[in-house]
């Protein structure tokens, strides 16, 4: 293992850029792969490529990267976009490695807790059954299987709902009087974008130290919470007193995800719950 590990972050958007900066600060060589490399943070090595194209980009590193992180996100919420991004895009990158005769030490594939279909507030961990009711969860499971069966040592990281700077959907909804049912509780799981990046960095750095990684990790904070509780807290902080005419909450999954496996590896979230995370966003003027 080289003194300065190298990593290609395929789909280097918000979380990928945060990860890249953390690894760069730790002395890693970081390639940020995206179509518009002008949007990369300063210091990341630009790798202009389109994951939806099968041809290996000419700028692909001549030497095999030590690590590959696949964290692309679809351009739309259509099923075709999900499949193209998560399944076809990953297959393309694995093909590029094969064309170049390169074998990274490990692949990290960023997935979602949406692969779980639990509806009744059950506690969920990495060993819980994945029976998603949605096509998006099924596409992600297909991509996970490709990552874990693609011939490289691999780990899947299932992130919960990511929030952070620039991700204002819930804050906007609450300001508009977002009305949600309190019973039965609709449990949700969250992770701040900085903590999502921090978990990925923790996994990579652990592997680089020779720690044996598991095949799957959940990326969530310490406190799953009913959506109504989060909304009530935000209403108080924002001084919102009005309600929307109708409830806007749609019944999706309701589960409580455990981060015990990630914490056992040494990962400590900077924002242990949504309270600290949203307080920081509000203090910053979001």
User: Taking the CB of residue 241, how many other CB atoms lie within 10 A of it?
Assistant: 8
pTM: 0.96
Evaluate whether residue 80 is within a structural domain: yes
What residues make up the domain containing 73? 6-167+190-221+254-272
Evaluate whether residue 235 is within a structural domain: no
Residue-wise pLDDT for 131-166, tens only, equals 998 999 999 999 999 999 999 999 999 999 999 999
**Residues above pLDDT 70, as percent of the chain:** 97
Domain count, the chain: 1
Peptide bond into 184 cis (omega under 30): yes
Q: State the CATH number of the domain containing residue 12.
A: 3.40.50.720
β-bridge partners, 34: 48
Evaluate whether residue 91 is within a structural domain: yes
Tokens of 265: 């590896």
Evaluate whether residue 142 is within a structural domain: yes
**What pLDDT, on a 0 to 100 scale, did the predictor assign at position 68?**
98
**What pLDDT, on a 0 to 100 scale, did the predictor assign at position 252?**
66
User: With contact defined as beta carbons under 8 Å apart, do 4 and 27 qualify?
Assistant: yes
Rounded mean pLDDT of 91-106? 97
Nearest Cα to Cα of residue 218 among 262, 256, 188: 262
DSSP class per residue in 3-33: SS-EEEEES-SHHHHHHHHHHHHTT-EEEEE
Evaluate whether residue 89 is within a structural domain: yes
User: Could you give the CA distance from residue 267 to residue 97 in angstroms, rounded to a whole number?
Assistant: 30
- Is the pLDDT confidence value at 227 over 90? yes
User: With contact defined as beta carbons under 8 Å apart, do 227 and 254 qualify?
Assistant: no
**What pLDDT, on a 0 to 100 scale, did the predictor assign at position 251?**
57
Evaluate whether residue 156 is within a structural domain: yes
User: Could you give the CA distance from residue 97 to residue 64 in angstroms, rounded to a whole number?
Assistant: 8
Tokens of 68: 């590959």
Tokens of 44: 């990341």
- Is the pLDDT confidence value at 181 over 70? yes
Q: Give SS3 for 139.
A: helix
User: Could you give the CA distance from residue 133 to residue 118 in angstroms, rounded to a whole number?
Assistant: 9
């Amino acid at each position: 293992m080289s003194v300065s590990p190298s990593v290609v972050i395929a789909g280097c958007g918000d979380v990928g850029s945060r990860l890249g900066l953390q690894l760069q600060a730790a002395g890693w060589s970081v390639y940020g792969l995206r179509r518009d490399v002008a949007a990369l943070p300063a210091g990341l090595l630009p790798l202009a490529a389109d994951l939806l194209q099968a041809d290996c980009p000419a700028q692909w590193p001549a030497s095999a990267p030590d690590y590959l992180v696949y964290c692309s996100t679809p351009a739309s919420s259509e099923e075709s976009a999900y499949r193209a991004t998560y399944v076809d895009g990953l297959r393309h990158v694995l093909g590029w490695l094969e064309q170049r005769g390169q074998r990274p030490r490990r692949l990290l594939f960023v997935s979602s807790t949406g692969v779980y279909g639990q509806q009744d507030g059950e506690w969920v961990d990495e060993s819980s059954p994945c029976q998603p009711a949605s096509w998006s969860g099924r596409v992600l499971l297909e991509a996970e299987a490709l990552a874990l069966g693609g011939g490289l040592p691999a780990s899947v990281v299932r992130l919960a709902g990511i929030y952070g700077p620039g991700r204002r959907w819930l804050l906007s909804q609450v300001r508009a009087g977002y009305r949600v049912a309190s019973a039965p509780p609709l449990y949700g799981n969250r992770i701040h974008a900085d903590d999502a990046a921090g978990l990925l960095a923790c996994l990579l750095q652990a592997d680089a130290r020779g720690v044996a990684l598991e095949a799957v990790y959940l990326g969530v904070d310490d406190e799953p919470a009913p959506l109504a509780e989060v909304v009530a807290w935000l209403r108080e902080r924002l001084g919102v007193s009005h309600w929307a005419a109708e409830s806007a909450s749609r019944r999706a999954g309701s589960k409580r995800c455990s981060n015990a496996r990630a914490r056992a590896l040494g990962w400590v979230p900077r924002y242990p719950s949504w309270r600290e995370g949203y307080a920081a966003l509000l203090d910053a003027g979001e």
